[in-house]
Structure 1
Amino acid sequence: MRVIGTLDDGAAYDVEVTGREDRPVTGSRRVRALVEQYTRQPVLLGPLGPQRRLEATDTAAVLALLREHTSVVEVRP
């Protein structure tokens, strides 16, 4: 899935969430670093849960992380 958004400092990003273990996102080194930083950490899939550990292959958890730590503007399947 393709995700477009902005980081906290206003920098725009456009990434592809791949679901691959070796490269969970492509298109932005900063977003890739964010995902790597939070891998195996708990993330809420929605505002009230459920909670799961972030794994690189879990596209729903990666998207939830981006929604929590960035401003997601658009998600395309």
Structure 2
Amino acid sequence: MPLTVTGRFDDGSAYQVQVTGDADQPVVGSARAAALVELHAGERVLLTPTGPLSSVAGDDADSVLAVLRRYTDVLENR
């Protein structure tokens, strides 16, 4: 089931996306958020503030959400 995330980029632009868990299209709804996730694919990120570390992969919704949390201000996820 897709996860809906609402957030804001550093410049104040708002976005709302669905994190799909699909490797081919991990984020739907914002080209900018999708590009951010693609840019960081393969990097290691903390899934929570204290860990564990995981490599960012389009089919891993937790790592995609971690990228959004790290590089944007996530306001809500449901």
Indicate the TM-score class for this superposition, using the shorter chain for normalisation.
over 0.9
Q: Tell me, in whole angstroms, the C-alpha distance in 1 between the residues paired with 2:54 and 2:76.
A: 23
How much has 1:36 moved relative to structure 2?
0.2
Aligned to 1:68: 70
Q: Deviations over 1:23-52 (max 9, x none)?
A: 000000000000000001101001121101
* Unaligned segments of structure 1, at least 5 residues: none
Structure 2-normalised TM-score? 0.95
Aligned to 1:50: 52
Q: Tell me, in whole angstroms, the C-alpha distance in 2 between the residues paired with 1:48 and 1:66.
A: 17
Structure 1-normalised TM-score? 0.96
Secondary structure of residue in 2 paired with 1:57: coil
One-letter code aligned to 2:71: H
Aligned to 2:33: 31
Secondary structure of residue in 1 paired with 2:5: strand
Q: CA-atom RMSD, angstroms?
A: 0.5
